[in-house]
A and B are shown apart, each in its own frame.
Chain A
Amino acid sequence: MVKVIASILIVFGTVIFGIKKSDELKKRQNWLESFKTAINFIKDEIRYTYIPIPQLLTKITSFEQFKELLIFENCVEQLKNEKKFNIAWKLALDKTVSNVKLLNDDIYLAIAFGEGFGKSDVNNQLSLCERISNLLSCNIENAKSRYEKYSRLYKMLGLFSGIVVVIFII
C-alpha cells in the first residue's frame, strides 16, 4: 500500500514539474506580448501627451493588463531611491527576471529600451518604441514556437520520468 501511494506521489510530482516547465514557456510568451502592448501604449502617450516618464509609469501601473509585467511597478519603486531612469530600470528588470523566465534576447531588448528611453526628442522616442516593438514581435514568435514545440514535451517528460522512477523503485 505504501509503495502504491509513494508511486502515485512520485508520478504526480514529476507531472507537476513538467507542467510548471511548460507554464514557464507560456508565461514568457504572455510577458513579451504584454510588454509589447505596453511599449505601444507608451508610444501613443508620447505622441499625444508628451507625458514625462514618472507620470507615464504611474499611469501604466494603474492598468490591470500591465500588472503581471511587474517591471513597471518595480521601476516606480526603484525611482524612489534612484534618480537615473536607466539604472532604476535595470534594477527593476533584475527583480522581474526572478519571477519570469526570460531569455537573454528578451533581457537585452528590455535593457536597450531602458537605456534609450527619455533621452531624446519625440521622434527619436517614437522610433525607439517602434524598433523595440518590432524586435519584440520576433521574440514573441520565438516564444510561441518554443511553447508549441516544448510544452507537450515537458508534460510528457514529467509523466514518463515519474513512471521510470517508479519502475526502478518497484
Chain B
Amino acid sequence: MNLNSGVSRYNEVTQYLSPRLSKTLGLIKDLYKSQIEEIRLRVNKNLSVTLPTGSKFVSLNGDLLENEQKGVKVSLDDINESLGYICNMSIYSHQNQIKKGYITVKGGHRAGVCGTAVLENEKIQNIRDITSINLRIAREIIGCSEEIYNSIFIDSLDGCLIISPPCGGKTTILRDLARTISNNGKKVAIVDERGEIGASYQGIIQNDIGQLTDLLDGYPKNLGIIYAIRSLNPDVIICDEVGDENDVLSIAEGLKTGVPIIMSAHSKCIEDLKNRNAIMNIIKMGAIKNIVLLNGANEPGKIKKIQRVGDLNWLK
C-alpha cells in the first residue's frame, strides 16, 4: 500500500471525529498517518493512536508521544459528537450495529463502541452512555493474497480458514482473495455481515472485490450463506470471522451443495483452534482443507504458515 492511499484512508476516518480532534489528528505527519491502524477515544483520557509499534498519544500540534502528559484530552462532548457523525446523524439506522458493539462507516472502516449495556432477557438491547470509540482504519492492499492464491486456490477452490490475532489483516486478505479469485473467472459470493469487506455505501461497493463477485452486505453469516447458495450459485463463498454455532449449520449446508467456503477467525495459533468448539466442528465436517496463519498485528496480511488440515496430527 502506498503512502498516499494510506493517508487518504486515514483522512476518511478522521472526518468522522469532532472538529477539534479531527484538526489535531490532521497535524500528524503523513508517514505516520499511513501506518496508523486505530484511533482511540476514551472519555476524559488522552487521544491515542495505534501503530504497528504500539500505542502513542497525540499532542495538540500532532506529535506522537510515548507518555500522556502533553496529550489532547477527549471530552464526553467529543465522544457524543463523533458518535453522531459516525452514525451519519442517524443513531436509529445503526442501532442494530451499536447493539453488537460496532458501527461500519463509509470506506469499510469500523468504529467499535463501548459504554453501559442495556439488558433485556439477558440480551443486550442497546448500549448507552458511550465512553470509548475505537476507529479501525480499513486498508485495501491489492495483491496481498497472491501467495495464498498461488499455494492453495490456483488449481481448485477448497474450503480454507484464515486465522490471526486481531488486527492481523484477515479481512484485507479475504477482500483481496475475493478479487483475485473473481478476476480469475470464478463466481464469488461474499457474506459481509459487518460491511468491512466490500464497504458498500448507498448501494455502491467501494472496495475492489472483483468482476464476478456478489456482495451480501449486512446479512448475518448463517442466513447469508444459505441465501448465497440458494440464489447466487457461487463457485466459492467468502465470510469473515466465523465461530458461532449458527455458522456451523450453514457451513454444513454449504458443504452438502459442494460450495467451498473461505472464512476467517480470531486465533493466535493453529493449536488454539482445539479450544474453539464451533471451528473444530467445521474442521471435522471436512469444510476446511487448509488453514492459513497470518503473522499478526506487527506485519498485517503477511503469511506465517499454510497448514493442510489432513496433515494435522492432533486431528487424527
Contact = CB atoms under 8 A, between A and B. Distances in A.
Interface of A: 46, 50-56, 83-85, 118-122, 124-125
Nearest to B96: A50
Contacts of B92: 46, 50, 118, 120-122, 124-125
B202 to A, nearest CB: 6
A118 B126 contact: no
Interface in B172-216: 202
Interface in B202-246: 202
Contacts of B84: 84-85, 118-119
A53 B88 contact: yes
B91 A119 contact: yes
Contacts of B88: 52-54
Contacts of B93: 46, 50-53
A81 to B, nearest CB: 13
B24 interface: no
Contacts of A124: 92
B89 A53 contact: yes
Interface string B75-90: 0000001001101111
A83 B91 contact: no
Contacts of A118: 84, 87, 89-92
A109 B91 CA distance: 21
Contacts of A122: 92, 95
B207 to A, nearest CB: 20
Most buried by B among A50, A53, A121: A121
A54 B95 contact: no
Interface of B: 19, 81, 84-85, 87-95, 126, 202
A118 to B, nearest CB: 5
Contacts of A120: 91-92
Nearest to B126: A121
A67 B307 CA distance: 62
Contacts, number: 47
Contact of B89 (A46, A50, A85): A85
B6 to A, nearest CB: 25
B238 to A, nearest CB: 26
Given A52-B93, A85-B89, A118-B92, 17 more contacts: A50-B92, A50-B95, A51-B90, A51-B93, A52-B87, A52-B88, A53-B89, A53-B90, A54-B88, A55-B202, A56-B90, A83-B19, A83-B85, A84-B81, A120-B92, A121-B91, A121-B126
B14 to A, nearest CB: 13
Contacts of A119: 84, 91
A85 B92 CA distance: 14
A119 B87 CA distance: 9
A83 to B, nearest CB: 6
A124 B95 CA distance: 11
28 contacts: A50-B92, A50-B93, A50-B95, A51-B90, A52-B87, A52-B93, A52-B94, A53-B89, A53-B90, A55-B202, A56-B90, A83-B85, A83-B89, A84-B81, A84-B84, A84-B89, A85-B84, A118-B84, A118-B89, A118-B92, A119-B84, A120-B91, A120-B92, A121-B91, A121-B95, A121-B126, A122-B92, A125-B92
Contacts of B81: 84
Contacts of A52: 87-90, 93-94
Which 10 pairs from chain A and chain B are nearest by CB? A52-B90, A52-B88, A50-B93, A85-B89, A52-B93, A121-B95, A118-B89, A122-B92, A125-B92, A53-B90
Most buried by B among A84, A119, A124: A119
Contacts of B19: 83
A86 to B, nearest CB: 9
Nearest to A120: B91
Contacts of A83: 19, 85, 89
